[in-house]
Homo-oligomer: A and B are copies of this chain.
Amino acid sequence: LTEKEALGETGLRCTVCGQRKEDRMMKEGYPAYTTSCAWLGYSDQQLKQLCTDALKSGWTKFKVKVGANLDDDIHRCRLIRQTIGPNNTLMIDANQRWDVAEAISWVTSLSEFKPLWIEEPTSPDDILGHAAISKALAPLGIGVATGEQCANRVMFKQFLQASALQFVQIDSCRLGSVNENLAVLLMAHKFQVPVCPHAGGVGLCELVQHLILFDYICVSASLSNRMCEYVDHLHEHFTSPVVIQNAHYMPPKDPGYSCEMLESSVQRHQYPEGDTWKLLMNK
């Protein structure tokens, strides 16, 4: 990516369409998907209940953890696909469980459930492995998503060069600095690959919302196949928690990068004097 290309990519130069995109975000927000419904280990009843509740709250995109047991994965994917129906979106996530050949055969066995992507099918460093998996799964209409363990733009550059992923999952904290995140957004745009950030964890949703808004308003100008992960977890510790409305991230209006934690939360969890630690140590 040259300097000229990078500057050319940003939509910042046009105030009119920039304003239109900003208005759209303020009104509708940025599309999100939920990882909260289908962790491994949930019972059938719990899976079904969580998906049903999420549907009622407006969620249309669901991620399911897979990779521990194939029969179980088939059972759970079938149940969830039945619950969410054929038109909502299903993604599957293996958390680096497989080697390359195993990933291809396992995901092929799950292809009838029409997942949009398989996430982290193998070692996060294995660019050539992901390229082989991408090539094998393309005829099935399943893309490869990865990036949450990818710490620098050089790794993403190669994933893009090698057509080794179809969804770029930046992690706002794993990539060193906002600048490194922006470099990846610009490269992804050059390769016309959508960015669907990793989030969840402690503060990741808060921290990534600024980047997705920048991506849409200034770089990609598209929401096609784009969505940001959301996990309903630990937001109560932040002074400016994300606002989700109808399964969309609403633009934050508080100043700053949304990374400030509540003083009370910090105190409670400080080692070794915080109440949480004292409680644990007295157990």
Chain A residues with a Cβ under 8 A of chain B: 123, 125-129, 152, 154-155, 157-158, 161-162
Do A161 and B128 have beta carbons less than 8 Å apart?
yes
Query: Which chain B residue has the least Cβ–Cβ distance from A122?
Result: B154
Residue in contact with A157 in the complex, picked from B126, B152, B161, CB distance below 8 Å: B126
Do A152 and B125 have beta carbons less than 8 Å apart?
yes
When distances are taken between beta carbons in the complex, the residues of chain B under 8 Å from A125 are: 152, 154-155, 158
When distances are taken between beta carbons in the complex, the residues of chain B under 8 Å from A155 are: 125
Measured CA separation A128–B162 after assembly (Å): 8
When distances are taken between beta carbons in the complex, the residues of chain B under 8 Å from A154 are: 123, 125-126, 129
Measured CA separation A123–B162 after assembly (Å): 17
Measured CA separation A127–B127 after assembly (Å): 9
Measured CA separation A152–B155 after assembly (Å): 15
Copies, count: 2
Residue in contact with A158 in the complex, picked from B128, B152, B157, B161, CB distance below 8 Å: B128
Measured CA separation A129–B127 after assembly (Å): 13
Measured CB to CB, the closest approach of chain B to A24, in angstroms, equals 37
Query: Which chain B residue has the least Cβ–Cβ distance from A151?
Result: B125
Measured CA separation A152–B127 after assembly (Å): 13
Measured CB to CB, the closest approach of chain B to A122, in angstroms, equals 9
Measured CA separation A259–B161 after assembly (Å): 41
Measured CA separation A157–B126 after assembly (Å): 9
Measured CA separation A70–B116 after assembly (Å): 50
When distances are taken between beta carbons in the complex, the residues of chain B under 8 Å from A128 are: 127, 158, 161-162
Measured CA separation A125–B128 after assembly (Å): 13
Measured CA separation A101–B139 after assembly (Å): 35
With A125-B154, A126-B154, A127-B158 known, 8 other A-B pairs at CB within 8 A are A123-B152, A125-B155, A126-B157, A127-B127, A128-B158, A128-B161, A128-B162, A129-B158
When distances are taken between beta carbons in the complex, the residues of chain B under 8 Å from A161 are: 128
Measured CB to CB, the closest approach of chain B to A247, in angstroms, equals 36
Measured CA separation A161–B126 after assembly (Å): 11
**Nearest 7 Cβ contacts at the A-B interface:** A123-B154, A125-B154, A128-B158, A126-B154, A125-B155, A128-B161, A127-B158
Query: Which chain B residue has the least Cβ–Cβ distance from A157?
Result: B126
Measured CB to CB, the closest approach of chain B to A99, in angstroms, equals 10
When distances are taken between beta carbons in the complex, the residues of chain B under 8 Å from A129 are: 154, 158
Query: Which chain B residue has the least Cβ–Cβ distance from A132?
Result: B161
Query: Which chain B residue has the least Cβ–Cβ distance from A161?
Result: B128
Measured CA separation A224–B161 after assembly (Å): 35
Query: Which chain B residue has the least Cβ–Cβ distance from A159?
Result: B128
